[in-house]
Chain A
């Protein structure tokens, strides 16, 4: 690859960087018990919720930030950030017309066809600007089936029992540093409940967006799929550009009861910082699901954004015959750093897991796969297949794999494979011979390389993901 081309790739600007002026209500800077109380009070939360937050906050104070990930960043001053910001307009909306035009504009720039989605795509959107849900669509249609899909704070008002029962059951407030922080100060998020035997008729989708400078965003998502139900959940992110690093520490918990199936797809394209590695989002996320008997949880992610990504969507295969899947494409460019992977914890008998991870590093970025496959003594006939491939574009980047396999059952069958390579000269030659331009050839080859993952995405998402990959690869001719 020529120097110039690498430079072109490295100088690609973040296409979704803009900042819309929406009046926000901001809590004072810093983090203390008072702030936790303030957040809880603002959201009119029940007493037990506040107690839970405080417990998490006290525990967080005793913890130290983890240093084991293969990423480097200056120490975060947790007292310098704002922990609560809500759009001023708080009144619940009946229709989209009531929406603040500025917010609508933001969505339009992002290319979220909120209006069209309603009619054409059949996707219910719970759009989160900063921390408070502004609009929720399709609620009535879902309600007919008994499906609850709303913001976390709304769920806390209307379905406190469900939240009380499940919050922290998969990711306890003591789990890790960032999960504890989230548990203390989470501002909002999404809540989803699928009743017994219901197949959710549409993909549920939430667009998160960070909008106020210096606001850490702490969403919390809770998905409960009752016996025999099915849901496909979509999460997509873009964020405007700011010079200050923004911390994002989200928690996602999924509970899949007997024979339930949850499919969770993410396209993450947050601001990765500029070509000198200034700014960008710190994305420290804890995602975990628990599978009961014969249940299935499938994580699919396309990660192209964030300055630093630290995220390991995991599945605890507790019930017999349960299935966990993880499909991931992670692209890093410039000074981006990603340390991502999955954990598959096999506890039940005949449990199965599949891991397919595709890492692409370009520029001066570092891309690490870190995964754990654990087969406990009780997990007879557990089966795992892992494949993690890395592709390097340019010679200033790094690709790393850290798979951990802890196998303690003789009936387990575990296979792990990993390869590292670059875009083949012969492949490029083949395309060039057939009159395909270099740029298109690269896109073609990389799309082929990621195909196994992309085809796991719902159609609309797959298109967006392909688009993102193409943007990421502009000018990266090998």
Chain B
């Protein structure tokens, strides 16, 4: 109760006099009625969030970062649009937005001023009144990304969203990202989370992606928060007929990271791919929860999550695939593979299938082990040193996830970052 009160007092201190006033008020009321999940809650069985919710946070006001730093955070070739947020606050100077009549690329606050009603609607519709972190996000919403791609538009260059956290303070930041992609359009979005100082801040982020019929979205996320920081993300994807959505998510930082990914396949012939990579060290806890809801026939979903855990790090994976009665001819594949490098590291994985249709092909698999001894021997027998052999095997292991990134320059840059993280 006391912990909830702290968040309510943050709400009270914030200036809430914008177009979202009523929605925020509603959200904080819902928040006060909900409870934070404990480990007794099945979905939070392996992740204790007490360290997150028992801290006191401030809302950060201002901070500046140099242009060079931001440039360093851009992956691959120069992109078209860059949105930069420092400690959750949109930085217009560092951002680069290409003016376009058709596509809206903006921060939420800016979009609210220009497009008012439309954005308010989105914010309201994407607030899940049953999820405490979703209502908290709406209540304390600071800013976020608002991207809207109209029909029949191929956005050639990736849109970069750079989030930098750099503060001495233990701040809380609630961002809401809305990505709406119209029919027959294509877009590629790259989100990165970087940090300056090693402080214990808390990023509570929700992202909602709407993929219209025959639209194709690639969504890359690189998370390199501070080792003391907390991140809880909720990613909701709603897909229409014939669309494709591919997410490649890389988690390297954070003390406690929890990613909730919910995919709602609302029509037939949809492809949905979720790929994830997590490297845990020290006492990190990285938790990926995915839920794919197959409601209609002829849809495919693929999931591959791979993790390497060292020191006292823990990895959690909970993948749930629901195939409803009408979803005949569904193909759903799910795999979670883990490598433990230390005796104190651990993995708790729960790949889960709930199937109500008979003509489906579904499978899931989970493995936990060390680096393959046979492969190691093969390399050593050919005169490759132990360190190098280890590195090669790790590269191969992570490569299986990163290879799903289509653009070469982006993939190479990601690989470089991941390999230098070991």
Q: Which residues of A contact B (CB under 8 A)?
A: 68, 375, 377, 390, 392-422
Question: Which residue on B lies nearest to A420, using beta carbons?
Answer: B362
Chain B proximity of A164: nearest CB distance (Å)? 35
Give B contacts to A, CB under 8 Å. 42, 46, 325, 328, 338, 340-370
Q: How far does the alpha carbon of A404 sit from the alpha carbon of B344 in the complex, in Å? A: 19
Identify the closest chain B residue to A413 (Cβ).
B369
- Beta-carbon contact of B351 and A400 below 8 Å: no
Shortest distance from the beta carbon of A375 to any chain B beta carbon, whole Å: 8
Contacts of A413 in B (CB 8 A): 368-370
Given A395-B358, A397-B358, A419-B362, answer yes or no on A414-B350 (Cβ-Cβ < 8 Å). Answer: no
Which residue of chain B lies nearest to A376 when distances are taken between CB atoms in the complex?
B346
A387 to chain B, nearest CB (A): 10
- Assuming the contacts A409-B343, A420-B353, asked whether A396 and B325 have C-beta atoms less than 8 A apart, the reply is yes
A364–chain B nearest beta-carbon distance, Å:
11
Interfacial chain B residues near A399, Cβ < 8 Å: 353, 355
Q: How far is the CA of A177 from the CA of B356 in the complex (A)?
A: 30
Query: Taking A416-B365, A418-B363 as contacts, is the C-beta distance between A393 and B343 under 8 angstroms?
Result: no
**B350: contacting residue among A68, A394, A403, A422, CB under 8 A:** A403
Q: Which of B340, B352, B365, B370 contacts A417 (CB 8 A)?
A: B365
> Which residue of B338, B357, B362 contacts A395 across the interface (Cβ within 8 Å)?
B357
Least Cβ–Cβ distance between B262 and chain A, in angstroms: 18
Distance in angstroms between the alpha carbons of A415 and B340 in the assembled complex: 14
Question: In the complex the two chains form, is B343's CB within 8 Å of A410's CB?
Answer: yes
Tell me whether B369 and A422 are in contact (CB under 8 A): no
Given contacts A395-B328, A416-B351, contact A405 B368 (CB under 8 A): yes
Chain A residues whose C-beta falls within 8 Å of the C-beta of B348 in the assembled complex: 404-407
Q: Tell me, rounded to whole Å, the shortest Cβ–Cβ distance linking B288 to chain A.
A: 14
Judge whether B354 and A400 touch: CB under 8 Å.
yes
A residues in contact with B351, CB < 8 Å:
401, 403, 416, 418
User: Are B358 and A392 in contact, with the CB atoms below 8 A?
Assistant: yes
Which residues of A have CB within 8 Å of B347? 405-408
Chain B residues lying within 8 Å of A420, measured Cβ to Cβ, are 353, 355, 360-363
Give the dominant DSSP class at A's interface.
strand
Give the residues in chain A near B357, CB-CB below 8 Å.
392, 395
The answer to whether A422 touches B370 (Cβ under 8 A) is no
Contacts A407-B340, A414-B368 given: A401-B358 contact, CB under 8 Å? no
Instruction: Decide yes or no: A403 and B356 within 8 Å by CB, A395-B325, A409-B343 being known contacts.
Output: no
| Complex: A398 Cα to B354 Cα, angstroms | 7
Complex contact B358–A410 (CB within 8 A): no
Q: Say yes or no: A414-B366 contact (C-beta < 8 A), given A400-B353, A403-B350, A407-B347.
A: yes
Known: A420-B355, A420-B362, A421-B361. A410 touches B345 (CB 8 A): yes
CA of A396 to CA of B353 in the docked complex: distance in angstroms? 16
What's the minimum C-beta distance from A335 to chain B, rounded to whole angstroms?
A: 15
Q: Give CA–CA (A412, B339) in the complex, Å.
A: 10
Q: Inside 8 A of A394's CB, which chain B residues have their CB? A: 358
- The listed residue (A68, A397, A409, A418) touching B353 by CB distance below 8 A is A418
- 14 residue pairs of the A-B complex, CB under 8 angstroms, read A392-B357, A392-B358, A403-B366, A405-B350, A405-B366, A410-B341, A411-B343, A414-B366, A415-B366, A415-B367, A416-B365, A418-B365, A420-B353, A420-B363
Among residues of A, the one whose C-beta sits closest to the C-beta of B332 is A420
Q: How far is the CB of B320 from chain A (nearest CB, A)?
A: 9
Closest to B362 in A: A420
**A contact residues around B370 at 8 Å (CB):** 410-411, 413
Query: Which residue of the partner chain, among A393, A395, A412, contacts B368 with CB atoms under 8 Å?
Result: A412
- Does A405 contact B349, Cβ atoms closer than 8 Å? yes
Complex formed: what's the CA distance from A410 to B280 in Å? 14
CB distance from B371 to the nearest CB of A (A): 10
Chain A residues lying within 8 Å of B42, measured Cβ to Cβ, are 68
Q: How far in angstroms is the closest Cβ of chain B from A378? A: 10
* B358–chain A nearest beta-carbon distance, Å: 4
Whether A422 and B359, one on each chain, are in contact in the complex, defined by CB atoms closer than 8 angstroms, is: yes
Residue in B325, B328, B344, B368 whose beta carbon sits within 8 Å of that of A407 in the complex: B368
Say how far B362's CB is from chain A's closest CB, in angstroms.
Answer: 4
Q: Is the CB of A392 within 8 A of B342?
A: no
> Do A421 and B368 touch across chains, with their CB atoms under 8 A apart?
no
Given contacts A392-B357, A422-B358, contact A377 B343 (CB under 8 A): yes
Chain B residues with Cβ under 8 A from A410's Cβ?
Answer: 340-343, 345, 370
List the B residue with the shortest CB-CB distance to A399.
B355
Contact B340 A401 (CB under 8 A): no
A68, A375, A410, A414 interface centre (most CB from chain B within 10 Å): A410
Once the chains are docked, how many angstroms separate the CA of A403 from the CA of B357?
A: 20
Shortest CB distance B215–A (Å)? 29
Residues in chain A near residue B362, CB distance under 8 A: 419-421
